[in-house]
Structure 1
Amino acid sequence: MDEFPKGVALVVGGSGGIGSAVARALAGRGVAIAITYRKNEAAAENVAKEIRGTGVTCSVHEISLEDLESVTRCLDSLVEEHGSIHTIVHAAGTYIDQPYVSQVTPEQWRNIIDWDVNGFFHIVHAALPHLRKSKGSIVFISSAGLKRFPPGDVLSIAPKGANEALVHAIAREEGRYGVRANNVAVGVVDAGMFPKLVQSGKLSQEWIDAATKSTPLRRFGTPQEVADAAVFLASSRAGYITGQTLFVDGGYTL
């Protein structure tokens, strides 16, 4: 049995550390890829160039997640080009300056909800008619912080709580159409925001040592390990799995 049907897999945020690893892993299965970016066109094009070098089709799309029309145009164009969308992995992320709840302004809150929560809903809203036809799958890259909350991470984690609930709704309501939806809850991974937070001094060596010590495997994860989990959940090998959250956190939440 083929792991993926004909059509295209869309990786939202495919220019980032985890998203690019997901795109490469899907391409390794021979799946046609489309990746989106918000600002970093150069990074997106580099990922696409690498994937094309393996003989796999990969297109790059600039979208604004806050803009439903932008999202809808992108997905409709992919269906027109490839015939169907069978997989969506939502791995979009942005740099967040680690404020405590008491330091978060109403403007910051509105902005992150609009981009993260409304943005994911826009993807879902535009994708569901296509995923019903392909009996496709959605994988949302979430955070292990929903189970073991790290101080200062509310702007990253709170929106993911809403998005995980949306994934559960999709799984419960769209399963009758053959659509599956799952979450991958990620612990500390040496990619994306993490190196930037270390470089900015927001995460000290003391914090790194403590986080490593509190992780049973005594190390941080890699983007490839997250990608492997996402690809599994999206594939036919997980055809009877829906509405679940797979923790890729080295045991951090135990």
Structure 2
Amino acid sequence: MRFGIDTPDFPDSGCAIVFGGSGGLGMASAGLMAQRGSAIVVTYRSRRDESQQFVEQLRGLGYRAEAMACDVTDRAQVDAVYAGALKSFGRVHTVVSAGGLVFDTGPLADFRPESFRGVIETDVVGFFNIAQAGIPVLREGKGGSFVALITCATQRTVPLDALSATPKAAVQMLVRHIATEEARNGIRANSVGPGVVNGGMVIPMMKTETRKLLDMAVEFTPLGRLASCEEIAEAVAYLASSKAAYITGQALMVDGGLSA
């Protein structure tokens, strides 16, 4: 066994694409991968200004980064992101899916059908578009890695959380299929299941009557606190990196013990 050799986390060439990179988890993941040697493409659907400011910050630190508009439910827009990334950086070695809607919480019987349809379209169809368009791109680049952000609620049923857990469970299964079908092409696929995070979709919950659900989730978390976006990003960057070269088809729960 050899010690003292610092293996680069990411290839010198190519880039990582973070779909949904304008949110808290997406930005944290993109920033950490940039810090560890990867060029970055972040996508946004409506937060153009925030995404451009983030990219300028990365560039100011000497990192290579671009921002591109993308609605992941539109396959043509997803294809355009891959084409743009290849044009700018020559190769895509990492694809992170970090987007999602701010979803309703409550009893399943009370959901509006359009709410359920919306999260399925964004989370499940959106990830399908990302994955199916990305597989040939990663094959062409002689391999790479997918990482999808899901939820720890795929492992432990959280009351009133069906609109989050149901589509993310489908995403988790798609990740497992990529892992088993594409390993021969040097492609790995894993997912990260956050618990309750101090950022992203949780922020609106802090300002509404759903705050009690948030407090309940923290109460049932053994570590007894919210996670930071940076703590989730550590898991994303690790699974995407060469240090996780023998890990595929897995779901890493970063939830303070909530799913234990």
> Fold conserved (TM > 0.5)?
yes
Whether the 8 Å CA contact 1:44–1:60 is kept in 2: the answer is yes
Whether the 8 Å CA contact 1:187–1:249 is kept in 2: the answer is yes
Identical residues among aligned pairs (%) = 39
Q: 1:7 aligns with which of 14, 17, 24?
A: 14
The TM-score, its normalising length taken from structure 2, stands at 0.93
Q: 2:256 aligns with which of 237, 250, 254?
A: 250
Aligned-partner Cα distance in 2 for 1:100–1:40: 30
SS at match of 1:183: strand
Identify the residue that residue 199 of structure 2 maps to in structure 1. Answer: 191
Q: 2:237 aligns with which of 223, 231, 246?
A: 231
Q: 1:201 aligns with which of 204, 209, 218?
A: 209
Please state how far the C-alpha of 1:30 moved relative to its aligned partner: 2.4
The answer to whether the aligner puts 1:75 opposite 2:77 as a matched pair is no
Identify the residue that residue 153 of structure 1 maps to in structure 2. Answer: 161
Q: 2:47 aligns with which of 20, 27, 40?
A: 40
Q: Give the aligned residue type for 1:168.
A: R
Please state how far the C-alpha of 1:107 moved relative to its aligned partner: 2.1
Please state how far the C-alpha of 1:70 moved relative to its aligned partner: 0.8
Identify the residue that residue 118 of structure 2 maps to in structure 1. Answer: 111
Aligned-partner Cα distance in 1 for 2:102–2:59: 28
Whether the 8 Å CA contact 1:21–1:223 is kept in 2: the answer is yes
Q: 1:121 aligns with which of 116, 128, 151?
A: 128
Please state how far the C-alpha of 1:90 moved relative to its aligned partner: 0.6
Identify the residue that residue 173 of structure 2 maps to in structure 1. Answer: 165
Please state how far the C-alpha of 1:124 moved relative to its aligned partner: 0.6
Please state how far the C-alpha of 1:114 moved relative to its aligned partner: 1.3
Aligned-partner Cα distance in 1 for 2:74–2:43: 14
Note the alpha carbon deviations across 1:81-106, whole angstroms, 9 max, x for none: 21100001110022112132111222
Identify the residue that residue 181 of structure 1 maps to in structure 2. Answer: 189
Aligned-partner Cα distance in 1 for 2:222–2:57: 34
Q: Give the aligned residue type for 1:73.
A: A
Q: 1:100 aligns with which of 107, 118, 132?
A: 107
Aligned-partner Cα distance in 1 for 2:153–2:9: 30
Q: 2:246 aligns with which of 240, 247, 253?
A: 240
The answer to whether the aligner puts 1:26 opposite 2:11 as a matched pair is no
Note the alpha carbon deviations across 1:118-158, whole angstroms, 9 max, x for none: 11100111110111123100000110011122222211211
Aligned-partner Cα distance in 1 for 2:125–2:32: 27
Aligned-partner Cα distance in 2 for 1:150–1:49: 39
Note the alpha carbon deviations across 1:28-57, whole angstroms, 9 max, x for none: 112110000111112211211211111111
Aligned-partner Cα distance in 2 for 1:222–1:194: 11
Please state how far the C-alpha of 1:108 moved relative to its aligned partner: 2.1
Whether the 8 Å CA contact 2:139–2:185 is kept in 1: the answer is yes
Whether the 8 Å CA contact 2:8–2:37 is kept in 1: the answer is no
Aligned-partner Cα distance in 2 for 1:99–1:253: 20
SS at match of 1:14: coil
Q: Give the aligned residue type for 1:170.
A: I
The answer to whether the aligner puts 1:61 opposite 2:89 as a matched pair is no
Identify the residue that residue 210 of structure 1 maps to in structure 2. Answer: 216
